[in-house]
């Protein structure tokens, strides 16, 4: 029971918040707006899955927002140029994977700290995007939005697909040795090496996969509106990291679960609309996000110091 204390307390907080909303602002639960709000979180969820995996391996990637934006613009332009929709996903994923590979090379093979590497790639990709796109929106062809289905159907499809991805990745992390390697490397890379695991390869592939997921997330976002906003990725890395940290993923690696990160995302995603319903203004969002990250990290820090003594 104690092993999942962290994740369960976050789930408990979520339940409490939902209960509070149920009493004070029941209109929060109106089906159609709720579905829309949930679907709007799908891209962040996909990013969170990737970021959680990166953090479990004891790394970090703050370039995912830029990767996201670049993939979105790339896919958008290709679609406008006539690319069939089913190809958009693999192409975006490949582009993202390529960007992730750059991160992976620098971190895994050159041993550079991931924070600084991804800080540099974050700005590089963001500026490449700004240079090429110049802030212009891309108008997507008909049939792209909601995958050509009705809004409700499209939203349900997206939600279902992302939850399926979450379940699949969570299962892989738990039940495939490759998944367990992430935990081993994040826990103690040297011990992992002595057990026959290749920490450098593991680290490299985790960044590549993160990039691919950024591409997938970009497409998930792209099909939700008739236009692509080149600034769509701004700040998403922080949202994903916040969700992971709140959900129990340890910055020092080796610990945490995707389901926990998912609950963390739900909690954070509920706080914002809850604030609206409680008549707190939207411009508090970033401050609250930062405060939540700090609270989660400080609480973890206090707990581990108490356990150590």
Partner 1 sequence: MAHSSRSLKAQLLRHDVLLLLVLALEIAYFLNFARNFGTPDNLSNIVRHSAEIGLLALAMMPVILTGGIDLSVGSLMGLCAVLFGVLTHDLHWASLPAASLTVAAGLVAGAFNASVITLLRLPPLIVTLGTYSLFRGLAEAITQGTKTYRSFEPAFLQLGELRPAGLPLQAWILGVGALGFYVLVHRTTFGRSFRAIGFSPEGARYAGLPVLWRTALPYLLAGGVAAVAALLFTARLRQARADAGTGYELAAITAVVLGGTSIFGGTGTVYGTVAGIAAIAVLNNGIGRIPAVLKAGIGGELASLLTGALLLIALAAPGLSKLLQSVRKQSTLPASANPSPSPTH
Partner 2 sequence: MHDVLLKLSGVTKSFGAVRALKGVSFELHPGEVHALLGENGAGKSTLIKVITGAHTPDGGLLEIGGKAVESLTPERARTLGVACIYQQPALFPELSVAENIGLRLEKPGSFKRVDWKARRQNAAALLKRIGAAIDPDAAVKTLSMPEQQLVEIACALGSGARTVIMDEPTASLTRSEQELLFGVVRELRASGAGVIYISHRLEEIFALADRVTVLRDGESIATRPVRDAGGQMQLSEEELIRLMVGRPVAAIYPPREGTPGATVLELEAVGCAASGVNGISLSVRAGEILGLAGLVGAGRTELARILFGLTPADSGKIRLENREVRVDSPRRAVELGIAYVPEDRRRHGVILQMAIAENMTMAVHPRLFPGGVLRFGAERALALEYMESLGVKAYGPEAPGGSLSGGNQQKVALARWLATKPRLLILDEPTQGVDVGAKSEIHRIIRSLAAEGLAVLMISSDLPEILGMSDRIAVLRGGRLVQTLDGAEASADAVMAAALRDQPAQPAFPSL
The residues of the shown chain that bind partner 1, judged by CB under 8 A, are 60, 62, 106, 109-113, 115-117, 119-124, 126-128, 130-131, 134, 238, 241-242, 245, 251-252, 281-291, 293-294, 297-298, 301-302, 305
According to DSSP, the residues that pair with 227 across neighbouring strands are 139
The one of partner 2, partner 1, none whose footprint includes residue 175, by CB under 5 to 8 A per kind, is: partner 2
The one of partner 2, partner 1, none whose footprint includes residue 186, by CB under 5 to 8 A per kind, is: partner 2
Distance CA 71, CA 62 (A): 15
Start-to-end CA distance of the chain, whole Å, equals 22
User: Number of residues in contact with partner 2, rule: CB under 8 A?
Assistant: 24
- Torsion angle of C-alpha atoms 75, 77, 82, 85, degrees rounded to 10: 20
**DSSP 8-state code for residue 108:** I
Both structure tokens of 277: 């319903």
The one of partner 2, partner 1, none whose footprint includes residue 69, by CB under 5 to 8 A per kind, is: none
- Contacts of residue 193, defined as CB under 8 A and 6 or more positions apart, other chains included, come to 199
* One character per residue 3-42, x = contact with partner 2 (rule: CB under 8 A): x---------------------------------------
Quick count: other Cβ atoms within 10 Å of Cβ 307?
7
Which residue, 142 or 308, is less far from partner 1 as judged by CB?
A: 308
Distance CA 80, CA 74 (A): 10
191 binds partner 2 (CB under 8 A): yes
* Choices 13-21, 102-110, 145-153, 176-184 (CB under 8 A): range interacting with partner 2: 176-184
The one of partner 1, partner 2, none whose footprint includes residue 298, by CB under 5 to 8 A per kind, is: partner 1
């Amino acid at each position: 029971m104690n092993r999942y204390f962290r994740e369960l307390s976050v789930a408990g907080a979520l339940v409490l918040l939902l209960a509070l909303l149920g009493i004070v602002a029941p209109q929060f639960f109106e089906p159609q707006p709720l579905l829309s709000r949930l679907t709007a979180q799908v891209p962040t969820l996909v990013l969170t899955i990737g970021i959680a995996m990166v953090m479990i391996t004891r790394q970090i990637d703050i370039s995912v927002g830029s990767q996201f934006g670049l993939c979105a613009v790339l896919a958008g332009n290709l679609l406008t140029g006539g690319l069939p929709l089913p190809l958009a996903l693999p192409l975006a994923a490949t582009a993202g994977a390529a960007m992730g590979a750059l991160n992976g090379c620098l971190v895994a093979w050159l041993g550079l700290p991931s924070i600084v590497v991804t800080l540099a790639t974050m700005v590089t990709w963001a500026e490449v995007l700004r240079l090429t796109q110049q802030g212009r929106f891309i108008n997507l062809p008909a049939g792209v939005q909601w995958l050509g289905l009705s809004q409700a159907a499209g939203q349900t499809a997206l939600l279902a697909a992302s939850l399926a991805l979450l379940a699949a990745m969570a299962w892989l992390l738990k039940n495939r040795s490759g998944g367990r390697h992430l935990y081993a490397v994040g826990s103690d890379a040297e011990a992992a090496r002595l057990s026959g695991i290749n920490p450098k390869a593991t680290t490299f592939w985790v960044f590549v996969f993160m990039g691919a997921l950024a591409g997938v997330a970009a497409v998930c976002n792209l099909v939700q509106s008739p236009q692509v906003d080149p600034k769509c990725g701004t700040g998403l890395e922080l949202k994903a990291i916040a969700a992971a940290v709140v959900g129990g993923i340890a910055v020092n690696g080796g610990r945490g679960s995707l389901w926990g990160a998912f609950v963390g995302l739900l909690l954070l995603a509920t706080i914002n609309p809850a604030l609206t319903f409680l008549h707190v203004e939207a411009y508090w969002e970033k401050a609250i996000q930062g405060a939540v990250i700090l609270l989660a990290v400080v609480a973890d820090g206090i707990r581990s110091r108490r356990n150590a003594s």
